[in-house]
Amino acid sequence: MSWVMSQWPFPPHRMAPHIPAAQSHYDRLAWHPPRGGEPPGRVLRWTCDCEEVVYELVALGGLRFIRRTALRGGKGVIHESDRWSLHAANAMWDALLTGNAR
């Protein structure tokens, strides 16, 4: 393993986008507890982990969803959005990054 790979955490969350404040007309996403028995999925995109809430766009079984991890009392509380097709998930991710969804 090279020095770079051993010294840099991956994925490099601190280089990721920050979530802006929600717009006054934002769409409310439905958040659910993680489904038991599923693999974690492949994280495709993520937001900066300098905030108390981190979002990840996850691919799993041909569908995509957004995983939200909120730091509460020193523990990560995880919720997941509904599952969507590629295009619908990308649109929701873009809405999240522009403050049009939460």
- Whole-model pTM? 0.82
Q: What is the pLDDT of residues 61-71, one digit of tens each?
A: 999 999 999 98
- Classify residue 56 as exposed, middle or buried by CB count within 10 Å of its CB (0-12, 13-18, 19+): buried
3 is written with which tokens? 């020095």
Q: What is the pLDDT of residues 36-51, one digit of tens each?
A: 899 989 999 999 888 8
State CA 38 to chain mean position distance: 17
pLDDT reported for residue 10: 54
